Chains A and B, each alone.
Chain A
Amino acid sequence: MMKKTALLLLCLTFSCLTFAKELPQDPLGSVQWNDMYNAFLKGHPAVFDDRVKLIAPNFAEDPMNVPVTVDARNLKDIKKIVIFADFNPIPLIARFYPTGAEALLSFRFKIQQASPVRAAVLTGDGKWHMAGSWVNSAGGGCTAASTGQVVGDWMDYMGEVYGKRWASNSSNRLRFQIKHPMDTGLAPGIPAFYIEHLNFRNDAGDVLAHLELFEPINENPVLSLNFKQRDKSTPIFMTGSDNNGNEFEAEFHL
């Protein structure tokens, strides 16, 4: 908590010191843009780039489950992708390191109020390539307790993974759901409890992708990824852990 407060203070200080000309003007017109840059992107210049697509509905029909797809397949040499929502009480949603995966990620997240949702893609030349979209919301997604906590049955199924694998000539696609309450810590009396890491490997042990998830990811997350691996016969392995040290793994076959 101390660390977060310190970070916040640091962000605010920096945002006051930042010269406007250092940052490109935000096409989404968000007053948080400078702070977001300083919090998550500092150290590299940022450009808004049509080659990155962030697809989300313009209204959050269900603030607990807002679907988003980030598609940066038109960029080369991607180091990582950072996804955040400016006006969420916890803005950072995910970091994606698509080593052996296509730069394509679909997920769902909890939104607290109308906010830009953004993807920043860091390429080998040291630049952030950015896209974003406003999602309107009646709100309340982040401060609500998870259904699992309300019903009280989350322990019965936590860590179970359900999914399916598809293959084309050029890639393997996984879509899956991990049962987990993904509590944000913002609902009274319920501490933050969320999946932090997901790692994907092939049969030979090569890392295919690494995902860092944060509190805003939806309860019982559903994610979609494409791996560049062509081989259809061997399994793809997933391992993961949450912030309480629970570990889980899954194995995807065609």
Chain B
Amino acid sequence: MSYLLKFSLILFVQIIVTSVTIAANFDYQLKATKVAENTYVFVGETEDFTFENGGNIVNTGFIVTSDGVVVIDTGSSLRYGNQMKEAIASVTDKPVVLVYITHHHPDHFLGNQAFKGVGIVALGETIKNINNEGAGFADNLYLMVGDWMRGTDVLAPNHVAELGLVTMGRHKLEIMSLAGHTSADMAIFDHTTGVLFSGDLIFHKRTLTTPHANFEQWLASLTTLRALPIKVLVPGHGPITKTKKPINEMVDYINWLDETISNAVNDGLSMTDAMQIELPERFKTNALLKSEFSRSITHLYLSYENLVFKRVN
């Protein structure tokens, strides 16, 4: 009984202390980093979703044009979207006139409600994926980051993207329909500034994620992106660069992952065996290597088993 009392008391005090420290802000501290003329990025942490980071683990951005502001991805929550809008307003008086959503993962579109009334554009397949899986993603994020999500609901994009060159002011944006990280990944290349918003086709210094991956398509997409005259590369996650090196690192890791899982299944390893494979030094500078490798085993192992197992009855 006394144990129970003590436990309840500790819990109670913890709840009070936590509410006092956190409820004060729920501030993502979004700071617009200028990466090129008229072009800004909010750089997120290279972490997994936690209560501490509130889901700010993603790079979102915006381009200020004479036709208005173009937003690329809206972050992980309504609060994020609202704070993004405020941060944009501190840079320019121009209104947000267009929002692009690169793909259907929750950290990229759950801020959409903040841009209600604006054209929110995505690939057709992305809209379909958001309608199918969006609510589940949102539930999951409530579990992982808690009250940061308050008020967040799924608002699916309302326009199917027009592909090819779109002119906004004097910015010529190439809207590209690619795939591999998910079944539909949009990349946006600004021919005027040479800035590539790759979405999650590129992770930089942060291990890539594979819940909806198709490696063959992903490698093809990376080949397409590598051919662009990129001056500034804005990855979906991780630091911005002026080189194409992150693309080569992506190709290296994808090839290694493919070969490693294939070998594991061919050698008769179970999933838990495979999760304990020693990981190469060269990938260890990438955040979350061990946990993302383990997640990838969960996502992909069965598809490799299906190739190796033969009918035995």
Interface residues of A (CB under 8 A from B): 55-57, 59, 61-62, 65, 67-69, 106, 108, 138, 159-164, 166, 173, 175-177, 222, 224, 248-252
A161 touches B268 (CB 8 A): no
Bound Cα distance A252, B312 (Å): 6
Cross-chain contact of B313 among A68, A161, A166, A173 (Cβ < 8 A): A161
Contacts of A163 in B (CB 8 A): 309-310, 312
B312 touches A67 (CB 8 A): no
Cross-chain contact of B302 among A55, A57, A222, A248 (Cβ < 8 A): A222
Contacts of A55 in B (CB 8 A): 272, 276
Among the stretches B159-167, B243-251, B291-299, the one at the interface with A is B291-299
Bound Cα distance A93, B198 (Å): 44
Contacts of B302 in A (CB 8 A): 65, 222
Given contacts A69-B272, A164-B308, A176-B309, 18 further A-B contacts (CB under 8 A): A55-B272, A57-B272, A57-B294, A57-B298, A61-B294, A61-B299, A62-B298, A62-B299, A69-B270, A108-B271, A161-B312, A161-B313, A162-B309, A166-B268, A173-B268, A176-B312, A222-B302, A250-B313
Indicate if B311 sits at the interface (CB-CB under 8 A). Answer: yes
Known: A67-B270, A69-B270. A61 touches B309 (CB 8 A): no
A67 touches B298 (CB 8 A): yes
| Beta-carbon nearest neighbor of B144 in chain A | A138
Bound Cα distance A59, B144 (Å): 12
Known: A160-B311, A252-B312. A56 touches B299 (CB 8 A): no
Bound Cα distance A160, B312 (Å): 8
Chain B interface residue count, CB cutoff 8 Å, equals: 27
Cross-chain contact of A69 among B143, B273, B297, B311 (Cβ < 8 A): B273
Indicate if B140 sits at the interface (CB-CB under 8 A). Answer: yes
Cross-chain contact of A249 among B267, B273, B311, B313 (Cβ < 8 A): B313
Distance in Å: Cβ of A60 to nearest Cβ of chain B: 9
| Beta-carbon nearest neighbor of B276 in chain A | A55
Distance in Å: Cβ of A139 to nearest Cβ of chain B: 8
Bound Cα distance A59, B295 (Å): 9
Contacts of A249 in B (CB 8 A): 313
Indicate if B153 sits at the interface (CB-CB under 8 A). Answer: no
Indicate if B305 sits at the interface (CB-CB under 8 A). Answer: yes
Distance in Å: Cβ of A102 to nearest Cβ of chain B: 13
| Beta-carbon nearest neighbor of A248 in chain B | B313
Distance in Å: Cβ of B278 to nearest Cβ of chain A: 16
Indicate if B275 sits at the interface (CB-CB under 8 A). Answer: yes
Bound Cα distance A175, B312 (Å): 11
Contacts of A160 in B (CB 8 A): 311, 313
Known: A57-B275, A65-B298, A164-B308. A175 touches B313 (CB 8 A): no
Known: A164-B308, A177-B309. A68 touches B272 (CB 8 A): yes
Contacts of B275 in A (CB 8 A): 57, 67
Bound Cα distance A248, B303 (Å): 24
| Beta-carbon nearest neighbor of A108 in chain B | B271
Distance in Å: Cβ of A241 to nearest Cβ of chain B: 14
Q: List 30 A-B contacts (CB under 8 A).
A: A55-B272, A57-B294, A61-B295, A61-B298, A62-B299, A67-B270, A67-B272, A67-B298, A69-B270, A69-B273, A106-B270, A108-B271, A138-B140, A138-B144, A161-B311, A161-B313, A162-B306, A162-B309, A162-B310, A164-B268, A164-B308, A166-B267, A173-B268, A175-B268, A175-B270, A175-B309, A176-B309, A177-B309, A250-B313, A251-B312
Distance in Å: Cβ of B218 to nearest Cβ of chain A: 19
Distance in Å: Cβ of A243 to nearest Cβ of chain B: 20
Bound Cα distance A155, B188 (Å): 45
| Beta-carbon nearest neighbor of B291 in chain A | A59
The 4 A-B pairs with the shortest beta carbon distances in the complex, nearest first, are A106-B270, A67-B271, A162-B309, A250-B313
A164 touches B310 (CB 8 A): yes
Bound Cα distance A248, B312 (Å): 11
| Beta-carbon nearest neighbor of B143 in chain A | A138
